[in-house]
Structure 1
Amino acid sequence: MKTIKVLMINTIPFNRNGMSMMMMNYYTHFDHKVVQCDFIVNKYIEDDYKNKIVDQGGKVYIFPSRNSHPLRYIKWLSKIMIRNQYDIVYVHGNSATMSAELYAAHRCDVTTVVHAHNVKTEHPILHELLYPYFAKHYDYAFAAGIEAGEWLYRKRPFLVIKNGIDSSVFEFSQSKRTKIRDSLGIPEEAKVLIQVGSFTEQKNYPFTMRLIKKLKDSHEAVHLIAVGVGPLLESMKEYCEQNGIQRYVHFVGSQSDTGSYYSAADQFIFPSLYESFGIVAAEAQANGLPCLVSREVPRAIDITGNIKFESLDINDWMEVILNRNFQRSKYTLEQTEQLFVLKGLSIGSDALGMQDVFKTMVEGKDIYK
C-alpha cells in the first residue's frame, strides 16, 4: 500500500499546549513509510517542533492569522491541498470554526477528519452560526475524550483518540532535580509545586497565584515553577510583584524538556476551569509526581492512582498540598510504563492504532465499528 499523505492542521499556535503536544506525539511515532504528514500552522510554531517535523520528512506551512483573514486563509489552504494531493485532511480544534478548513477541503474533494480537543469554545456565537455547515461537511470525527466528543458532535458518532505519551521520556532524575533547583535558586528544603500550561483563562493561573500567596502568608516554605507562555503571563508577574511573592514564583517560559522541571518539583497542580483530558497531568504522573487537579478534569487522567480531584477551594488545596502523605510514587520505570499501557495511554501502540484508522478511512470503510 502506498504511503498515506495526511495534512495536519493546527488551528491554534503550535507551542506547548495540549493540542500541539498530542499532534507531535503521534507524528513522531508514526511509521513514515505508512503515514507521512505535512502541517498547517496558525501564526507560530516552536523551532524544535518545526525541526523535528522537517527532519522526519514533513513540510510546515505557516499562515499569519487564520482568524483575521479567513477568506485569504481558505484560498491559501486550497492551493496547498491541490498542490500536494493529500489523502486525508486532519483538522484539530475546539469548535465549528473548523468549517474554514472543511470548506477548503470540500472544494478539493479530500477526505476530512475533525478532532475535538476541548469542551468549550472562546467563540460561542460564531460556533453556533457555523455549526450547521460544520455538521454536514466532515467525514470522520475524533475527540480527546467522551466529554469533548459529546460537546462538539452532539448525538453524532465519534472516535475517542487517547492522548498517549512516551512515559519513559519523563522519568524522574535526581541530577536534573538538583540542576533545575540550583539554577532557580530554590532551597533544598523547600516544597516545590509545578504547573504546566498556557497562560490562558482556562488554566486558571489567578487561582494558583492566590494559592501561593496564602501559603506564603501562612509562612510555608513553598515555591512554584510555572511552565508556559500566553496572554495572561504579564498580569501574573505583576500580581506576584504587587503581593510580594515574586521570589517564590519562577516563570520559566516554554520548555522543550519539561521532564527536568517535573523532576525538580514535589507536587503537580492543575486547577483548570475545564479540560477534555489534560496531557500534562499524564506527563507529571510518568515522572512520579502526586497530582492535585480540579474536579473539571476528566477522571480518565488518573493513571497511577496518585492524584486528587478537588473543587476550587483554596483552603482545600492547601490542606492537600501540606499533607505529608501526598508524595511521589515509588513505581519503577517499568511499572509506570505498564500502568500507561493498561490505560491505553502508551503512544507507541496508540500511534499504530491511528495508522490503522487512517488505512480504514482511505479504504472508505466505517471506522466506528
Structure 2
Amino acid sequence: MSEPIRVLHVFGRLDSGGAESRTMDIYRQIDRCKVQFDFAIHTEDKCFFTDEVKSLGGKIYSFPRFNGKNYFQYRKKWNEFFKKHPEYQIVHGHQTNTGFVYLKEAEVNNVPVRIAHSRNSNKENLIKKYICKLSKLYATNLFAVSKIAGISEFGKNAVNKGFVKILPNAINAKKYSFDTEKRREKRSEFGIKDELLIIHIGRFHPQKNHTFLLDIFNNILKNEPDAKLLLVGDGTLKSEIVKQISEHQINKSVIIAGTRTDVPELLQAADILLFPSLFEGLPGVVLESQAAGLPCIISDTITEEVKVTDLVEYVPLEHSAEVWATKVLGIDYKFKRRNTYEEITEKGYDIESVAKWYEDFYRMNIK
C-alpha cells in the first residue's frame, strides 16, 4: 500500500480557534490512509490540539514567531526546512501574514502546490493587510472561506475572475443536533434552571468586541435580572474583560468558562448566541449554533453566507447596546428547538462532502 500524501498546514498555533477547529474537523474526517496532515506552527508551546494531531499520525514542526526584525532568520529557517523535507509537495498556508516568506521559500525549493487560504475579512492594520496580500504572489492556489474574506485578502478582481476558490467552513452537523437531556445536564452543571442563558464563543481579542458584548448584556440585565452570560474562550484580553465585568458589577451574572472541549453540549444549554464581532471570515460558531437550533444575534459585518437558516438575525454595529439588547429580549428563547441538519447539509456545509473535496484536490494535484 502506498504512503499517504503529506500536506503541511501552516498556522500560528494549534489552539481551538475557528480556522484550527475547522481544519481539525476535516483532518478527523479525511481518509488518512490517502492524505495525512502535518502542521508548522509558530510556537514551541503545547497547544490545544497537539495531542490529538499526534494521535492521528500527524507531525508538528515549530518555527520562530515572525516579527519583521528576524526576517532573514525566519526565511532561512523555512529554506532549511524545505531542503530537509522534500516529501512535502503541498503547503497549505492559513497564516497569510507570513505567507510571502514561507510560500516563496516553498517555490524556491520546487514545492508544486502552494495554497494561500484567507480565513478572515479584515486585518488589524494596513501593514498586515498589505503583507497578507503579498502571499498570493507565491501561491499556486487561492482559497477563501467566503467571498468577503477572498476580497479582503486577494482583491475583488481575483475573486470576480474566479481565481479564488470559495470553500465554506464545514461542521459535523450531527454532533450539534439538539438533545433535551444534554441541555438539562449541562445547565445543571452551571447551576442554571429556567433563566435566560446567552452564550458567546470566541477568543478574547479585539476582533470579537467583548467590550460591546458586555455593554449589551448589561442592558439585558435591566429587563432580565436573572439572565446569565457564558463566555467560552481565552486570550490576551482576558484580564481586561474580567476588569470590565467587575466595573459593571455583573460578576454573579457572567460565567467565564475558558477553553472547552464540550462546545456542542454548551450550545445545547444556551438559549441565544450573541456575536457582535467587528469582522469575520465565515464564523464556524454561527454554523454550529444553527446546527444546535440556537437563535443567533450577530453583527452586520459578518457575511450573509453564514445565514443558512432563519435562526440568524443581523444587527448593525453602529446601533447602540440598548438596541442590541432589545433584539435579544425580543426572542422567545423558550421556543421548541428544531433539528436543522437537513438545512445545513443541503447548503453544502456538511463535513463529509467538504472533506472529500479536499482529499480529491490534494490527490489530483500531486503527480
TM-score (norm 1): 0.89
User: What does residue 169 of structure 2 align with?
Assistant: 163
The runs of at least 4 consecutive aligned structure 1 residues that moved more than 6 Å come to none
User: What does residue 7 of structure 1 align with?
Assistant: 8
Q: Structure 1 stretches of 5 or more lacking a match? A: 364-369
Q: Structure 2 stretches of 5 or more lacking a match? A: none
User: What does residue 346 of structure 2 align with?
Assistant: 342
8 Å CA contact 1:35–1:355 kept in 2: the answer is yes
Deviation of 1:320 (Å)? 2.1
**What residue identity is the alignment partner of 1:33?**
C
**What residue identity is the alignment partner of 2:323?**
D
**What residue identity is the alignment partner of 1:210?**
D
Deviation of 1:46 (Å)? 6.3
8 Å CA contact 1:91–1:114 kept in 2: the answer is yes
User: What does residue 61 of structure 1 align with?
Assistant: 61
Deviation of 1:223 (Å)? 0.5
State which of 320, 323, 333 in structure 1 corresponds to 2:330: 323
Within 5 Å, give how 1:117-196 maps onto structure 2: 117-128=119-130, 131=133, 133-154=134-155, 155-156=157-158, 157-186=163-192, 188-196=193-201
Alpha-carbon separation, structure 2, partners of 1:337 and 1:331: 9
Q: Secondary structure at the match of 2:239?
A: helix
Alpha-carbon separation, structure 2, partners of 1:44 and 1:149: 30
Cα 1:29/1:55, change in 2 over 3 Å: same
8 Å CA contact 2:293–2:338 kept in 1: the answer is yes
Cα 1:328/1:361, change in 2 over 3 Å: farther
RMSD, aligned CA: 2.2
Alpha-carbon separation, structure 2, partners of 1:213 and 1:257: 26
User: What does residue 355 of structure 1 align with?
Assistant: 359
Cα 1:302/1:219, change in 2 over 3 Å: closer
The percent identity for this pair of structures is 25
8 Å CA contact 1:268–1:284 kept in 2: the answer is yes
User: What does residue 285 of structure 2 align with?
Assistant: 280
Alpha-carbon separation, structure 2, partners of 1:153 and 1:349: 26
C-alpha deviations, 1:23-72, integer Å up to 9, x for none?
11111111112211110122267655222211221101233523374433
Within 5 Å, give how 1:1-369 maps onto structure 2: 3-10=4-11, 12-43=12-43, 47=47, 49-67=49-67, 69-84=70-85, 85-95=87-97, 97-110=98-111, 111-128=113-130, 131=133, 133-154=134-155, 155-156=157-158, 157-186=163-192, 188-312=193-317, 313=319, 314-325=321-332, 330-332=337-339, 336-363=340-367
8 Å CA contact 2:213–2:276 kept in 1: the answer is yes
